Amino acid sequence: MLTQVAEGVLIHQSESLRNNTVVVQGRAGVLLIDPGIRGDEMVCLANDLRKLGQPVVAGFATHPDWDHVLWHPELGEAPRYGTARCAAAMQDLLASAGWKARVSEGLPPEIAEEVPLDLFGLITGLPVETAQIPWDGPQVRIIEHPAHAPGHAALLIEERGVLVAGDMLSDVFIPMLDDVNSTNDPIEDYLVGLRLLEDVADDVDAVVPGHGSVGRAGQVSARIEQDRAYVHALRAGDVPEDPRIGSSAEPGWEWVSDIHAGQFQRFAQRSERDETPG
């Protein structure tokens, strides 16, 4: 089911992990950002778009996590864009032996059989420093930053006042830092990403996270501050006061606390290594 967020901007939310697919209506069809997870959900989305007389004319993956680079034949053969780094990460994965088995092993077991991988990760990288998605519709500004994953990009639909945040600014997921691919300090990388989102917050009436509920104008800055507070606590080795973890976590999402516990441990060990004299 499609839900309107702003004029010409709709979302389709997956039952699994509350992934948000964003649909932006253009002159000849729609831009599809981060299509859903299960095959039947993507077929449902394609059917809804056909009823609207809106074919998919372009796609965009905000980053190279498995749940953001999926596709289905029913969605058509439109070009699927991403940043150059996002596309490169996908190309490296798809060129490796046994990639499909490795991706399958990382899927949530309850939906693994329902996730289509035949068109997985076929992303066309846009030239470095491309400022806007090339398509015939409202201007969509690309805000690439180093937080969370290689080549992560938020998208600002300027005429509609909508920020598509990728895997940031969620009301159910804590910030998840990339301590594998980062060539710098992953905590500082995340703070850089938050600062870039903060730069456009005043122009935003709604933020769509990769997972969770849409935040309206008054919530955008609050979500940025909540994510920043979590990251600062992680850096300091403090237990964050965050409603997404611990006893205040939303029912059914208590497992996010396990993600936090693992992340907290990894960064505590990293801090100890950095402080140990050579």
pLDDT, residue 272, reads 60
Domain CATH number, residue 236: 3.60.15.10
Total structural domains within the chain: 1
Name which of 118, 143, 3 is nearest 60 in CA terms. Answer: 143
pLDDT, residue 268, reads 85
Mean pLDDT of the chain: 94
The helix/strand/coil state of 11 is strand
Residue 275 clears pLDDT 60, i.e. is over it: no
Q: What is the mean pLDDT of the segment spanning 172-194?
A: 89
Residue 170 clears pLDDT 80, i.e. is over it: yes
pLDDT, residue 182, reads 63
The tokens describing 31, both together, are 């831009």
Residue 278 clears pLDDT 80, i.e. is over it: no
* Residue range 248-271, pLDDT digits in tens: 898 999 999 999 999 999 888 776
Q: What is the mean pLDDT of the segment spanning 17-25?
A: 96
User: pLDDT-derived band of residue 36, with 50, 70 and 90 as boundaries?
Assistant: confident
* Residue range 40-53, pLDDT digits in tens: 999 999 999 999 99
pLDDT, residue 175, reads 97
User: What percent of the chain stands above pLDDT 90?
Assistant: 87
Q: What is the mean pLDDT of the segment spanning 224-234?
A: 96
User: What percent of the chain stands above pLDDT 70?
Assistant: 96
Quickly list DSSP for 70-115: ---GGG-S--EEE-HHHHHHHHHHHTSTTHHHHHHHTS-TTTGGG-
- Angle, in degrees to the nearest 10, between helices 217-236 and 256-275: 50
Unique residue bearing structure tokens 């804590």: 174
